[in-house]
Structure 1
Amino acid sequence: MCGIFCLLSLSPTPFEWDKTIHQHLKRRGPDSSQDVTVTDKHGSYQCVFSAHVLHMRGLLTPQPVQDDTGNVLVWNGEIFGGLPVMAKENDTAVISQRLSSCSSPAEILSILSSVRGPWGFIYYQKAGDYLWFGRDFFGRRSLLWMLNAEVLTLTSVAAHTYGPDQTIWQEVPAVGVYRIDLKAATESSTMTFEVYPWAHAGNNVISTCIETISESLPSGCSAVMNQSGLALTSPVCPLNTSIPETLNEPEIHPNLYQSVKDLEQLLASKENNAEVNRVIHVLSEAVRRRVQSLPFQNRDHSPPENDHASVAILFSGGIDSMILAVLADQHIPAHQPIDLLNVAFKLQEPKKQKESAKKNKKHKNESTNSKTDDAPCRTSSPFDVPDRITGKAGLTELQSLNPERKWNFIEINVTQEELQKMRRERICHLVHPLDTVLDDSIGCAVWFAARGAGLIREDSDQRLFASSAKVILTGIGADEQLAGYSRHRVRFKTSGYEGLIQELAMELGRISSRNLGRDDRVIGDHGKEARFPYLDEDVVSYFNSLPVWEKADLSLPRGVGEKLLLRLTARQLGLSQSSVLPKRAMQFGSRIAKMEDNQEKASDKCTRLFTSCKE
């Protein structure tokens, strides 16, 4: 993974770029940093490329990579399939060699279409004076753009400024790749982005693509579809939209299938077994590719030093992270630990003036409230939030499945003071340009979790511990594909399976702009790489191929109906109580949502992000 940057100026006048951005980029890539400047022979434009490398694969390859003919590549990605990459090879070098041999746009698109894995890239093609850039199909790697006074800036991460001179950053839409004709741009003093879309949206791909891009275009730019009609080939199959008439009208059965034994009954059918076994196969392969593509020097079989792991998992004890842990356990050598990153925000004590007024009500409802996700409960620690409790229960399950494995359950405890400090210094810049209360909550929770600094308990003792893992697995993508959110139930109740299918199609279509760019920026700030097994191309293709009622049955209660296929998979893998845990959003499970204004809505603009960057 890398922090990549390009500044394109249509003027030969020297310029300076924001040093704060440079600091953010360097934290993403601590192993190598360098810059390359390309200038047109007539001095009509200049490009400054900067790359900061997190060494993950093969031999360390400094970027930007400039070949013998003058082409320049900055690449932030991983090749997990589609193109051959040998054990000692670096994927950046492989991509650079492939692109160097291209003489036409079709050849470039063919190479990019072949890559299986996350990527963001910027490529200067000297022949023809073209600048290419873009993100993968799902947008798993961040790329931002901003145009100011004939200067276009592309970067993995920006810096938020506050006030009348604030710069306007936008995420590059993950609808295709873009090409700028630099000669034409200098002649007209305007920048036009030629779009090469992903061919996955059917007949309306052109209008939808341009409409999406137009919403986030930098001021002063325009976008046009390429005149050749070329497109990237979609890496996943289309979503199955079939709806049997007998299933079109939802019938709610809240009292059916509420236990592990009920899941076992469902699993007993031959048809369900076949589907579950297929899920295990494709998901296991996705995890294998992501836990074995590690820095070359860490892939030997020598015992780890000081119990340090190479792979960590964002871990709540919920079904998504539990399945990732079980599958990672199958592919990581037995002597190597696995870090389980569990974040909790300190429970705030109620204000004294409210205590007496609530005292009687609290005692009356205490036994009931202790069973709910969002109610306060008696705890032995102010950090015993719901995700900490389910995380510890999940740890017990994993230890029973493989007692020989060293599971580093890292308790990451965050106080309000530290939250405010790190939001102000770092996180507000990383979340930007997203700006809602939800972005703040998730961005902060993931940032502290990915940092991996906390406590581990051994017998009755505990000690400080910091995760050394460069690879962090995250369960994002499961809810979006398998109807895991409460809004999916609402849509199902109001519009049946047809409405649910529309909702799921929208979820995957917007995941790049709502989640993935932000999470990549936040996790990458620690010099670590986010990897998303549930968004592996083969996994998504398999889920897309199934009719919706085989993936979820929202006529069944919470904890069973949503992500039903994944729950059956968990049971087949040997998991028990975690397989029937209801979905709990990270901001509630970690209790970060309780640390701030409880009257806020998730979609509200978050003033804390603005005021933090202002200070």
Structure 2
Amino acid sequence: MCGICCVVTLCSQHTIHDFLNKDLLYLLRRRGPDSSQQLIKTASDLSYECLFSGHVLHLRGLATPQPLEDANSNIFLWNGEIFSGVPVGDLENDTEVMFRHLTLCSSEADILSLFSSLRGPWSFIYYQASRHSVWFGRDYFGRRSLLWQFSNEVDSAFCLTSVRFYSKSSNQWQEVPACGIFKIDLKACAATKSLSLTLFPWKYSCTEKAAEDIFINVLDQVSKDFPKHITLVMNESNLCLKAPVIPLNKTISEASDECPGTNISKISHMVSVETLQGFLAEEHKKKIVHRLIDILGEAVKKRVLCLFRDEDQKTREVPSMTNRKAYVAVLFSGGIDSMVIAALADRHVPLGEPIDLLNVAFMIEEQAKQKGASKKQANWEVQPDLLCPRESCKDLDTKTGAHLSCAVPDRITGRAGLKELEAINPSRTWNFVEINVTLEELKKMRQQCINHLIYPLDTVLDDSIGCAIWFASRGEGFINNQGELTPYKSPAKVVLTGIGADEQLAGYSRHRVCFRKYGLEGLNKEIEVELDRISSRNLGRDDRIIGDHGKEARFPFLDEDVVSFLNSLPISEKADLSLPRGIGEKLILRLAAKELGLTASTILPKRAVQFGSRIAKLESNSEKASDTCSRLKLFSVENL
């Protein structure tokens, strides 16, 4: 994880320091606390100037400050992880490896071939000195944040950055679309005193027949939000990046279209763990499930082992009891996604190393909670409550005298999930980190920093999810130490998250609505759209949020091999929305969880973090998720 920034000016009246102020540097340094430095490149004869600012979180190989510069004046900023595609040795740093490969590229096609081969999340900025060009972009899914801003027509300036503070006076910032790689010819732009960007888009197949229509659609989509004085053009050679995943299989068999859910006859609405066993009795189904476990397990393995550890843990030896430290954490609700990720992490994290389970609850008044509780509460919510006595989840609001409760749904299912994991591996130290947030602290931290990280997104949903993830990934809370809750702050620099499971496996309620209205064909189209928009809806925001703590978000469900495997399956193998909630959505993942030894968590219905953590109940109940959130339009960080 790194904070990267580049400022380009084509006009001497506008200095680069007008962009790179102390607010921006503050946010960038929080992302990269291990190293910070800047480099200025001036081409006086061509009238352009570039500033490169790099802020590094050291996670692998030798510590490598950024930006990197070689003897030929090429400059590189990298915020990413290479998990495969380009060889990176155990003691090598992937930033240096990427830079070395880039400097060997002799053509545009070489650069595109290099980035097409990468597997893992990334955003980058590369100054190619010999051609006076700046290249930049994000990976296929947009798992790393990158924002851009264009100045007005007179100033001819341009800025790229991982994160940006919100300011009413500044021009609008936008996320760089994860639709390809961009290039700016600084020599040509300096001559015309205007900015022109060239796009090299992602495609499944770079055939000329299909290229023209796709290029036009991508250009229209990206340029519609551009200022009028900025030009976006397709590269003249129609070059493209090869997508790292295969297209979605939209095959619908007659059997699945006519009679979905006939694998198990007359499944009742009160499903049980035993219900899943009937599916696993099918040899074909069981084979697919085990293939998912293998591929997803490999994705988790790369993400938990690809980081720097102390010497004794490099050799996989069990460290001493007094020196045990968690290097990996999981955003943990006890739901199916986080349970599977935790169970697979347990297979690959060294046994003597704890795993932190980060569980967030927003504390609400006990009376209000009881009043709003449903009388028709499902059994799966009531039973785990026995594992979480209300008395252990209460606090007193010193200002109002009201009793505050943290016995929210995600805390209850989280504690139940902890017991399942302890049953699978009682030798592992599972640090269940109870992170309790009051309304007062929520308002304070949103004003100080969270609003800047969510920006340029601005909806009520962005606020709820962003705030929940920020407090969870910070990792400050309590753990149970021999029966007593003691303060704890997670030292883990890698945070695993289950995002991507719902999008690919029909986990959202909107998927059921779509299925009821349009059948499997409509459901396929909706799932296809989900991954296309995940970069703009979720991933840039989540990367900025988690990165603010000097931690790196890693997304096993968005591993390229995992996505390609799931894309290869027809929808009938992944989900069956004719079945009840808690089994039909993400069916293949529930079956995998059953095979991994999980129990009650395998049939928990989907519950969004804003509801499971109860943040949605803490402030205004009258808002819609898509409304612009006035609470995000607050202050800069200049006084921090």
Query: Per the alignment, in what secondary structure is the counterpart of residue 491 of structure 1?
Result: helix
Counting only pairs closer than 5 Å after superposition, residues 131-170 of structure 1 correspond to structure 2 as 131-148=134-151, 149-162=155-168, 165-170=169-174
Match of 1:540 among 553, 563, 567: 563
Counting only pairs closer than 5 Å after superposition, residues 289-300 of structure 1 correspond to structure 2 as 289-295=302-308, 297=310, 299-300=313-314
Counting only pairs closer than 5 Å after superposition, residues 166-177 of structure 1 correspond to structure 2 as 166-177=170-181
Q: Cα distance, 1:40 vs. partner?
A: 1.0
Query: Per the alignment, in what secondary structure is the counterpart of residue 605 of structure 2?
Result: coil
Q: Deviations over 1:132-168 (max 9, x none)?
A: 0000000000000001131100000001012xx2321
Match of 2:45 among 33, 42, 52: 42
RMSD: 2.1
Query: Per the alignment, in what secondary structure is the counterpart of residue 47 of structure 1?
Result: strand
Contact 1:411 1:455 in 2 (8 A): yes
Q: Distance between the aligned counterparts of 1:406 and 1:370, measured in 2?
A: 31
Equivalent position of 1:75 in the other structure: 78
Q: Deviations over 1:6-43 (max 9, x none)?
A: 00001234342221111000000000110011111415
Contact 1:373 1:589 in 2 (8 A): no
Q: Normalization by structure 2: what TM-score?
A: 0.91
1:184 aligns with 2:188: yes
Contact 1:315 1:322 in 2 (8 A): yes
Query: Per the alignment, in what secondary structure is the counterpart of residue 523 of structure 2?
Result: helix
1:269 aligns with 2:285: no
Greater shift after overlay, 532-541 or 32-41?
32-41
> Would the alpha carbon gap of residues 171 and 250 (structure 1) be closer, same or farther in structure 2, given more than 3 Å must change?
farther
1:96 aligns with 2:99: yes
Q: Distance between the aligned counterparts of 1:112 and 1:296, measured in 2?
A: 28
Q: Distance between the aligned counterparts of 1:372 and 1:587, measured in 2?
A: 19
1:564 aligns with 2:590: no
Equivalent position of 2:301 in the other structure: 288
Q: Cα distance, 1:222 vs. partner?
A: 1.9
Match of 1:130 among 130, 133, 151: 133
Q: Cα distance, 1:401 vs. partner?
A: 0.5
1:231 aligns with 2:240: yes
Match of 1:503 among 513, 516, 526: 526
1:215 aligns with 2:224: yes
Percent sequence identity over matched residues? 53
**Counterpart code for 2:138:** R
Match of 2:599 among 573, 576, 583: 576
> Would the alpha carbon gap of residues 240 and 370 (structure 1) be closer, same or farther in structure 2, given more than 3 Å must change?
closer
Contact 1:249 1:497 in 2 (8 A): no
Q: Distance between the aligned counterparts of 1:152 and 1:4, measured in 2?
A: 14
Query: Per the alignment, in what secondary structure is the counterpart of residue 238 of structure 1?
Result: coil
Equivalent position of 1:18 in the other structure: 21
Contact 2:324 2:352 in 1 (8 A): no
Q: Distance between the aligned counterparts of 1:161 and 1:305, measured in 2?
A: 47
Greater shift after overlay, 239-248 or 432-441?
239-248
Contact 2:380 2:604 in 1 (8 A): no
Q: Cα distance, 1:438 vs. partner?
A: 0.3
Match of 1:379 among 390, 401, 404: 390
Contact 1:170 1:217 in 2 (8 A): no
Q: Distance between the aligned counterparts of 1:10 and 1:418, measured in 2?
A: 44
Q: Cα distance, 1:103 vs. partner?
A: 1.4
Q: Normalization by structure 1: what TM-score?
A: 0.94
Q: Distance between the aligned counterparts of 2:172 and 2:97, measured in 1?
A: 34
**Counterpart code for 1:206:** F
Greater shift after overlay, 50-59 or 40-49?
40-49
Query: Per the alignment, in what secondary structure is the counterpart of residue 368 of structure 1?
Result: coil
Equivalent position of 1:595 in the other structure: 618
Q: Deviations over 1:321-355 (max 9, x none)?
A: 0011111000011100000000000013557xx99
Q: Cα distance, 1:373 vs. partner?
A: 6.7
In structure 2, list runs of 5 or more residues that go unmatched: 394-404
> How many aligned residue pairs are there?
602
**Counterpart code for 2:82:** I
Contact 2:46 2:190 in 1 (8 A): no
In structure 1, list runs of 5 or more residues that go unmatched: none
Contact 1:483 1:504 in 2 (8 A): yes
Query: Per the alignment, in what secondary structure is the counterpart of residue 290 of structure 1?
Result: helix
Query: Per the alignment, in what secondary structure is the counterpart of residue 387 of structure 1?
Result: helix
Match of 2:462 among 436, 439, 442: 439
Match of 1:424 among 427, 442, 447: 447
1:484 aligns with 2:507: yes
Q: Distance between the aligned counterparts of 1:99 and 1:222, measured in 2?
A: 26
**Counterpart code for 2:177:** P
Q: Cα distance, 1:247 vs. partner?
A: 2.8
Q: Distance between the aligned counterparts of 1:207 and 1:75, measured in 2?
A: 29
**Counterpart code for 2:161:** T
Q: Distance between the aligned counterparts of 1:41 and 1:257, measured in 2?
A: 73
Equivalent position of 2:204 in the other structure: 200
